[in-house]
A and B are shown apart, each in its own frame.
Chain A
Amino acid sequence: MAQRLHPGGRARSGERSRPRGSKRARREAPAGAGCLRAWTEENDGLAGGWRASRSSGPGRAAQQAARRCRLAFDSLLRKIQGLPAALPSLSLELTVLYNSLLFAVSESDGLVEGEAERINHGLIRVLEACGVSGQDLSTEELWQKVLQDVTTEELCAPLHRLGALQGAVWLAANCLGSVTGLFRLLSDTKGPLPSAHGGENELLALLKAWSVPVEGDTSPLVVQSTKDLKEILWTSAAFLQGLQGLEAGNLPTALSLLQAAASGFCSKRVLAQIYTCIGCCTQQMGKPQTALQHLKRALQVDFQCLSALSQAALVYRQLGETDAELEALALLYKALETPAQEAVSIDPCFLIRTELLVHTPALASLFSRSHPSEVKYLLAQRCLQAGRVGEAVEHYLDLLALLQEGPQHQVPLHGRSALPRIPEVFLEAASALEQLGRYQDAIAVCEEIISRTDDLIPETLRIELDSGAGGEAPGRAGSPSPGIPPQQRESLRCIVWRAAAYLHQGRAWARLGESKEAITRFTRCLNVLLRVQLVSAASIQSSEEMAEALPEAKVLQKIRLLALLGRGSQFQELGRDKEALMNFQHSLQVCPGDPAATSHLLRALWKLNRRQEAAALWQKLHADAAPADGQQEAPGRCVRPYPLYLVSCLKQVNLPHDESLARSLQDYLRTSGQDP
């Protein structure tokens, strides 16, 4: 009916069969069609101008040009939509809407509500022109109605184009279901595609199957071709679903989707992100080498993709390749020192890009820029753990300087940060300094902690341990135990830090040969620890249970042991063997069966000529040692590791095996007739 009355000999029915001819026909249309023609010319002019200007490349100028174009398209659209919808102008109207939305989406970056509303309005106008009411329908229903009811061939191409844009808007909002439904409608398939068998993703298959409307010369110009848009949609859909799979732990599916996405059409930045995600995925699947390959590719594609570097560091760590890991971290730190490159907000060639369509929290957290202080800490920590004390000290000192810098260098203190609590950083630094032999520096660093905690610890801290607190998984480090108020917990932590600082000071003084100073520090350490009163409920019996209920308790115990042993040794240095003995005995009470404590005690007893006791202890030690050896390394029990700042102390407290003592003990046992 619409084609019946066409004055001026413009037989539109012939348009599809000979598009070129009809173009000429339209261009020569009489002045009576002025308005439609003028609008078409305006649209074509704008789109053509944009296409021509995009050779200038991204930048501020492109951004301004895009803004101008958006405003121009908007005003053109307003003009067209000012009139009631009419079929002959609808094709143009939908194209102008598409162009205007492309700019709007590209500019808004986050795809605001307004775009969806404008699509809705456009669809309602299409229905209006066809005499169908489209009020009170959801967008999904509108699309269904429009695509089913509007059979006008001319409108097919612009509607499909708009459909692709709608798909983009929905993808950006993570509405995969709606996108799938829409493309089912667009490809005119009722159920799941026959080709979409188990392996292949339905949406991707639909997108692939969707035939892009032919853009003849007749159609009004568009600023980004539907073919490009289709490719971008396909890549985004694959990437998005891959990310979702990765998040859900559905690794094989995620991998195949991400690999598909990598083969798609996207910018270098996104490609690097996809490779990084593949790297994460393969790493989680237990293929670190493959992961590394992908992460390397990510960096080759875009060196700004810093999270690939940090992921690579993680993988190297898993592989135990410390050199490579440290190198990666050092590179990462160096890259972070240069200011972040501004993200290109408008790429003139592709107004809609994958970056705009894929937003998930997982992606944001994976690609969030880490802080220099975090990376510096990781470097320092890994060096210390690997025993590279010299490097570790350098890094720790750098880090401490970084932390003291002004507010321009922000320090991540939030929960996801790699940085531990600040006093722990100081303690680790002190530990590293001590290991390097810079004892005075270590003492100074510890002094800082001591002075800061001075006013924060109460005279006595009474903590009641609830038996209900024990049910926690030991893997979750430091998660708050129920039942202990945070205020008390913080006080407890302060006590631990302060005691550890005194312990380190004592050890440093001991190394410097100042036994008296050392003894003072160890005593202060023990006094601080005495302020804690752990009152355990009846159900908590063993120290293991206690440690599980309150991880700090275990650390506390260990510090006490170390302080007692340290003090005992210093007493020995001074020749006050009896006091030393008392300290060692005490330490064995704190940690019954501790090999270090036992050997210290053994030696002290022997020195004091209390041979019988020594022999008994030695026998007991040997009896315990045999089964304990196997138990200690048992992988089944996940033991919470001691804080890094205590590790070196724990290592050094073990006495070297004294061959002569062992021999004399054996001799003694033989002579007393108690040889085992």
Chain B
Amino acid sequence: APMPFVSVWCCSDKLCPCGERLQGQLGACLKTRSNLSSRLRPCGMKLTFPDQVWHVELLPLRRQLYILCAGNGIYCVSLDQLGSQAEDACPSSVFPVDADACIVPDVTLCTFTLLNDVLVTLSQAQGQWWMKLHVLLDPDQESQPCRQISQVGFSTCDQTGDDGDALSSHFLPVLCCASAPGTAGPGEGLWCSGGFTLEEPLFSLLFGIDAAMLDSPMILCGFPDGQLCCVPLKALNSSEAVDACSEVAGQVPPVKILHHLEEPVVFIGALRTEHKAPDDPDDQQLFGDSGCDCVVVVGHYGKMVAMKAERGEEAKVPEVREYYLQGPILCAACGGGSRMYYSTHSDISAVDLDWVSNASDPESIDNTAYVLPPVLSPASLSICSVVALSLSSRASEGDSELLALSAKGRLMSCDLCSPDDAHPIRLTPEKAGQRIKELLSGIGNVSERVSFLKKAVDQKNRALTSLNQVMNVSAALLSNQDGRKPVTCTVTASWSRLLLRDTWAISCMLENSSECSLEQGWTLCVQLFTSSCAFDEDSVDSATTFTFPIDQLLPGSKREVTLPLGSAEGTKLELPLTVSCALFYSLREILDSASDSYESLDDLLPDGSPGLSPDKEGICLPLSKCTIDILQCLRLDDSTVPGAPPSIATLSDPVETFLKVSRVQSDPSSVEVSDQLLPKAPDALGDEYLPPSVASIKVSSELLKNALKSFCEATYWAKERVCVNALGPCLPLRAVRLGLGTWSVPTDPPGQGLAPPVWKPGAGIPFLLPLLEPIQACCSGVASLLGQSVGSPPLCLGKSRQPVSCWAVGNARTHPLLCISLSKWLCEVGWGGTIGVS
């Protein structure tokens, strides 16, 4: 999917690079969650972050931008620095964000908020939410960018449970700051984006008298499980276990649960529902002295809660009223007025919580004054697919401007006139022109909406057709569990010659023997796992996935894909390799146009529909899985003829050939076979031409693990191993003339250490010897081994022709596996993957 903000920034180039006007837009643009790498591009320059950007805040005081990057932490970028960088750079340049700019490296961070020089973060760790308070330090004086002051734990997130995990992972908690009036003077005011000032009775009623008397701002926190908690900023500490319900020794615990919404909280804001006297000069300022008188919290599925101070005679409690709007709500915004704007996929709606203004009877005003309306009637603005909203006030005109960012990346600005002057009295020519402009813009909006809806219908039709096909294929594949699958994928590994280089490649043959064709949208995924050695616990399996889109695969047809894995002298291969093939159908593909599909998919597949991966990516049908070992990439390479070009040795499996040769040699009667297979076999050349053959084999640890397993079952192994272990570390190679036979140790210690154990040939089990040699020694050791043994052939190889094999096991990572097979030839130890006869 294209990134929503790339196009946004195309239009934002026109705006001034920094300053107040940009704030809201930056915030609006970046609060969207994109699936791709996230980019921020101020002033025509893009900043890239290592992962999704989850939250952005601007600290105008310091002219700094704080950006929360998922799984990384909070980055701090100076606007001035960005500006100077942007001047130097060409407009489309992309800068990766400096790793040093990460001031709070914490992978568990979910959200944060800023209040002047205080940074409040919320992270999730150990089944708990942790709110931490940091103080931003002056970078000129301190070595660290910030210092943690205190923290408090919320034990709320364990309530989400198993099924809640998938749910809550979609949603981030929401943090915001509420302050009491008078805590901030006009000049050095407490600055907090998304924060609000609450009118006095409400503040004390909601948060308690202690917070009010401490003049402490409150941090409000909406969790994905629906809880709305608050904690005073000045008392962000807790004794070891926060029990939000208990009240000890007359103390009210600092963390207080205000409400439980039972659905993910997407927005916390505040409204002013009561009108002030119009002649009050303070009214001009939307965030006047007394602030807002109603807190609203919006949940994703449409539940909205409004909290307001009740004017009842009985015990003073905040009035809490729940409303149900049409969900799913993506975002919301409110300014200082009584209206809240919220966006679903299809529309922006406004709800007005000022109920009194509708009442005509002055008597009833007194009685029902200051009560929340019983029902809300949302008014549509007919703007669809808006993913971020921001309300900026224009103090001079008294009304406000709604900035909306659509999923396509269009940034829209809507003028919201106040309800009083909704009917313009007279149209002057200028106003008429303005009005016509507005109408045209409105028509533009409507036509965009129409085209959007039409497209959506088309998409859904197409999607249904595709889905039908997909279901057919899936049913055919999944219902046929035991028999042959109608769609198969065969994996073979072979050496091939590509561009004058020998390369080793995996080819996958996809065969469709079903009745339905595989249409566009299907992808063949070949996943290569290099599973590391079983002995190495810390090792991490790495996987590479190759995807091949299938345009169309008609019934009965085949398609082959080849994956070159490496050349003979090229990069090392980590073996064994597990190849797993699967057919994947991306559900996003169904919806064709990817930019809109982001939301459409959400509409199509409601949350919690079963059988889909948690992120609703698509349908995955596993086809086959096989393991490719080094033995499969052995190649018999006839390099004895100098100058002869290396050929693709044999058509048959090289491993098979190799093993056959070994077998042949153990049986003198079948020399012919051996000679046939290897025309230049030493015997054919006579004794004087008996060059020691060198083979290079790498054996996968998997194989050996299996071998070990079978050995362990035999008591033979356990017993023998002890002796060999004792031999192991100091045994020179001469003693390692083992073979397919059994060892027996003389019962009487011979006195000198060099007395070899007696070996009885013919038991038929290759002997495994843990050779305690580190890797360096291995490599050099091999050389010396060769020098020693090859130079003096008369080991026990000569006439007896016993295939002597000795296996040494090593950790595939720390000591590449050592496998020596001493037959008539001495096989070298190495990693090249070829067998050469020298």
Contacts and interface: CB of A to CB of B under 8 A. Distances in A.
The answer to whether A and B interact is: yes
A361 B239 CA distance: 11
Interface string A70-93: 000010001101111011110000
A487 B258 CA distance: 13
A488 B770 contact: no
A30 interface: yes
A420 B250 contact: yes
Interface stretch (B309-317, B380-388, B488-496, B644-652): B309-317
Contact of B730 (A33, A409, A411): A33
B708 A84 contact: yes
B538 A32 contact: no
Interface stretch (B90-98, B540-548, B568-576, B771-779): B771-779
A389 to B, nearest CB: 23
Contacts of B216: 407, 411
B536 A487 contact: no
B149 A408 contact: yes
Nearest to A77: B538
A608 interface: no
A417 B722 contact: no
Contacts of A494: 209
Contacts of A74: 538
Interface stretch (B229-237, B559-567, B686-694): B229-237
A411 B235 contact: yes
A121 interface: yes
B236 A86 contact: no
Contacts of B213: 403, 422-423, 426, 448-449, 452
> Counting chain B CB atoms within 10 Å of each CB, which of A7, A420, A488 scores highest?
A7
Contacts of A493: 250
Interface stretch (B333-341, B356-364, B599-607, B809-817): B809-817
Interface string B705-747: 0001000000000110111011111111001000000000100
B209 A423 contact: yes
Nearest to B245: A486
Contacts of B538: 74, 78
B713 to A, nearest CB: 12
A307 to B, nearest CB: 15
B694 to A, nearest CB: 22
Nearest to A74: B538
B374 interface: no
A658 interface: no
A78 B814 contact: yes
Contacts of A84: 535, 708, 721, 770, 809
B135 A408 contact: yes
Interface stretch (B81-89, B199-207, B414-422, B653-661): B199-207
Interface string B300-330: 0000000001001111110000000000000
Contact of A4 (B234, B537, B726, B813): B726
Nearest to A403: B214
A477 interface: yes
A454 B772 CA distance: 83
A410 B210 CA distance: 13
A3 interface: yes
A407 B133 contact: yes
A19 interface: no
Nearest to A491: B315
B251 interface: yes
Chain A interface size band reads 35 or more
Given A5-B723, A5-B753, A79-B814, A414 B237 contact: yes
Contact of A410 (B237, B246, B777): B237
Given A35-B729, A36-B729, A407 B535 contact: no
A453 interface: yes
Interface residues of B, number: 84
A417 B537 CA distance: 47
Interface string B214-242: 11110000000000000011111111101
A6 B727 CA distance: 7
Interface stretch (A180-188, A207-215, A230-238, A458-466): A458-466
B20 interface: no
Interface in A148-165: none
B257 to A, nearest CB: 12
Nearest to B133: A407
A8 B774 contact: no
Contacts of A453: 209
Contacts of B721: 84, 131
B8 interface: no
A72 B309 CA distance: 63
A82 B209 contact: no
Contact of B237 (A404, A412, A478, A491): A412
A413 interface: yes
B424 interface: no
B774 A404 contact: no
A663 interface: no
B205 A455 contact: yes
B74 interface: no
A479 interface: yes
Contacts of B217: 407
A300 interface: no
A460 B723 CA distance: 93
Contacts of A416: 239, 248
Contacts of A477: 249-250
A535 to B, nearest CB: 14
A415 interface: yes
Interface string B513-540: 0000000000000000000010111100
Contact of A35 (B215, B239, B247, B777): B777
B731 A7 contact: yes
B208 to A, nearest CB: 7
Contacts of A497: 209
Contacts of B752: 7
A4 B212 contact: no
B173 interface: no
A2 interface: yes
B253 interface: yes
Given A78-B814, A410-B234, A421-B210, A88 B728 contact: yes
Contacts of B809: 83-84
B209 A422 contact: yes
A456 interface: yes
A412 to B, nearest CB: 6
A478 B249 contact: yes
A3 B210 CA distance: 77
Given A4-B745, A79-B815, A83-B810, A411 B214 contact: yes
Given A5-B723, A35-B774, A82 B815 contact: yes
Contacts of A410: 133, 149-150, 234-237
Contact of B247 (A1, A461, A480): A480
A79 B732 contact: no
A86 B725 contact: yes
A34 interface: yes
B457 interface: no
Given A5-B726, A35-B772, A365-B240, A414 B745 contact: no
Contacts of A403: 213-214, 234
A456 B749 contact: no
Contacts of A4: 723, 726, 745, 749
B727 A5 contact: yes
A87 B728 CA distance: 10
5 contacts: A2-B725, A81-B536, A84-B535, A406-B118, A452-B204
Given A82-B536, A455-B205, 6 more contacts: A38-B774, A38-B777, A82-B535, A413-B253, A415-B249, A478-B250
Q: Can you list the 9 inter-chain pairs with the closest CB atoms, starting with the nearest?
A: A82-B811, A415-B248, A7-B753, A478-B250, A455-B201, A413-B235, A86-B725, A422-B213, A459-B313
Interface of A: 1-10, 29-30, 32-36, 38-39, 74, 78-79, 81-84, 86-89, 121, 129, 131, 361, 364-365, 368, 371, 403-404, 406-417, 420-423, 426, 448-449, 452-461, 476-480, 486-488, 490-491, 493-494, 497
